[in-house]
Amino acid sequence: MRTTAILNLKGGVAKTVTTVNMAAILARDYKARVLLIDADCQCNCTEFFGGTSDKGTLADILRLPDSYPDPVTFCADCIRGTTVDGVNLIPGDDSLMDLDLSKVELGRVRMNVLRQFVEAAKGLDDKGIYDYILIDCPPAFNAASAAALVAADDIIIPIKLDAFSLRGMGNLMRQISNMRKINPRLKLAGVLPTMWYRDAQMQDAEKMLADAGLTVFPHIRRSDKVDRMTWQQRPLLATSPNSAAGVDYRRFVKAYMRGGQENV
């Protein structure tokens, strides 16, 4: 089982679009069992699959008191189905925005509870309930993103290849490096250029990331089909599988499954 956090501290880089389409491709094309965890207070991943339910959310999980007798079962009880066969979801809610790192220090947030659940889900033979757990992280470093990185095996960084995003990479890499002190197994699977179009600056930016020693996944071309997908609340496999972005996401997932990883 592999647990991957989809993370960037900058918004508007297609984190949720990447998470949703990864899950759909893994489930349909590779017959994998996938769990999504929505750690973003904007809850776009949750909304994509129809909103919250009467079950618990990630915010409820992170607020569990240390004395709670069985946090793993509580996590499992929060899981619900989605519109994609083979894909389940632990939803988020907007109270995630209240879970800042100061509450971790005060003991009001259990940063390691997701890791406990992931370890239990792996089972003794590492062939547990799910094949992949994908965590849609917020565009900020807070208690939810910290909990995600404590639980994750690796990280994918979707990035729009503009000057602001590239300048923010240094801070992001420092945060990841700091989290490896808590979770030494945490790796950077790679950087995923999104909303790509043919341009000399785009190509130069890809080369710059590769020259810095980062694994750069095959880019995702800009496509209006992505906007349409979000309105229809169905992944590209269902709406526009042969669109530029649809083809590119399948190519990316194939590269992801090859498992090339680099230490931060």
Domain ranges within the chain, ordered by starting residue: 2-258
Question: What gap in Å lies between CA 195 and CA 192, rounded to an integer?
Answer: 10
R_g of the chain, CA atoms, integer Å? 17
pLDDT reported for residue 129: 86
pTM equals 0.92
The domain defined by 2-258 folds into: Rossmann fold (3.40.50)
pLDDT reported for residue 263: 42
Cross-strand partners of 133? 3, 35
pLDDT reported for residue 102: 58
pLDDT reported for residue 120: 87
pLDDT reported for residue 238: 93
3-state secondary structure of 15: helix
Beta-strand ranges (E) seen in 39-149 are 80-81, 87-90, 132-136
Element (H, E) at 231: helix 224-232
Element (H, E) at 192: strand 187-194
CB atoms within 10 A of CB 51: 10
Question: What gap in Å lies between CA 264 and CA 177, rounded to an integer?
Answer: 6
Residue 201 burial class via C-beta count within 10 angstroms: exposed 0-12, middle 13-18, buried 19 and up: exposed
pLDDT reported for residue 106: 41
pLDDT reported for residue 95: 83
CB 186 within 8 A of CB 214: no
What angle, rounded to 10 degrees, do the helices at 224-232 and 244-258 form?
Answer: 90
pLDDT reported for residue 197: 87
pLDDT reported for residue 52: 66
Question: What gap in Å lies between CA 71 and CA 174, rounded to an integer?
Answer: 30
Question: What gap in Å lies between CA 147 and CA 215, rounded to an integer?
Answer: 24
Which residues of the chain are modeled with pLDDT < 50? 105-108, 260-264
pLDDT reported for residue 113: 86
